[in-house]
Structure 1
Amino acid sequence: WWDTLSPEQQRAMALLLLTPAPMAATTAPPPPSPSAVPTTTVLDSRSKKKRLEIEDFTGAAGENVAAWLVAIPNAVQRQLALYGEVWTEREYYGVSAHLKGPAGQWFHRLNAHIAPNCRTLDFLRSRLLDTYGSKVNVWETQLRLVQHRRQPGERLLDYANSLTEIGAENPGVTAECYVDAFIRGMNNRVFVQSVRTARPSTLEDAVSYAVEFCGQYGEGCEVTS
């Protein structure tokens, strides 16, 4: 049949056979919308570790475990005021991290035999006082409080804190004993009468009243020698 075609028809047929057929146009898929792109949220699993700012206790001679224990609630109040941290009774047990040297070794032996529900500051305080505390009885501690006198130039608050450190070795010392010792130790006739008349029920109340009406050093009244 090719021979029956004219030269023009043959050229047209050859061009048709040699020319490739056009490909169908394709369109690229549209980019995904921002909402369709999966997002990954990275959560910081690290939590801030609490740490009380108190000195270490080693149990060495000359260290006062009662004074160290008194510093714990003071540090807790400071953390609350500065950083808004609230410590639970169980978290108080974390002060054991500040037991170093012989005291740290003692604690590790003790902790191995403590039931989880007993791991509280009250329990730790009791055992520390039994092991490292003074062996004086309540009566002897009360006598030391009454005999303790405010030093020249000592602030009323500092004097009260020194009484607290003395009494810390015996939790059985009453609030009335602290108040009486505070008043007796002032060596100030007018101040003594003024505070006694106010009848403070706690050492904190006595200090607050004294500072308000007699100044930080009791300078509002005559101090006897």
Structure 2
Amino acid sequence: MELTVPARFNGPPDSGQGGYMCGLLAGLAPPAAGRAVVTLIAPPPLDTPMRLEAGARRSHLWLGDEVVATVGAATRPVPVVAAVPADVARRASEGYLGHRDHPFPTCFVCGHERADGLRLAPGPVPGADGVVACEWVPEDTSTEVLWGVLDCPGGWTADPRADPMVLTRMTAEVVRAPRPGVPHVVVARREERHGRTAVNLTSVYGADGGLVATSTARWTAIDTEGV
């Protein structure tokens, strides 16, 4: 199967937004039905055909002779971050750090130099160390966009302006489809940091307070010189 990431869905300027890429693979690879785990081995290029080879237990995404990503079914339940009220999420966005010195200001999900992006603004939740939240009103409710929403907020549980990181592994479970045009709450929590890697959790809740999707992600620090 040939797979191409449209240039619109970038994270860093020249590669696909990590969560979007993971969601795209989770929706296409047979082993990933339901709960999926995706490992990003190399930055997924934009507007470039790649080859998805399905396996019985794990599928591989290739760019020529290079493996870009693998995807398979997750075997363990995905943890959930406790919800916060919608008004708390809206107020938290006022403290979003990404309005200035964003490492990737054109990111489709959290970049605010993108008129056609989601423009999420996850900011600190008062009294909850390492927790951020924001509101999201879906227009596109596809699996890949939902995974994208589960990606970026986790990166803002710290300050990526001074310590930029990118997604390298993501496990997610979609409980139900988001409802278009209805406010949702996105909440993320930093779990741990060891050297150049960090682990965080992100969950999305509907207007009724019910869980829509949840994820755990591993991020790896990068050198942005030349990115």
TM class, shorter-length: under 0.3
Q: Name the one with the larger strand percent.
A: 2
Q: Name the one with the larger helix percent.
A: 1
Q: More relative contact order in 1 or in 2 (CA 8 Å, sep 6+)?
A: 2
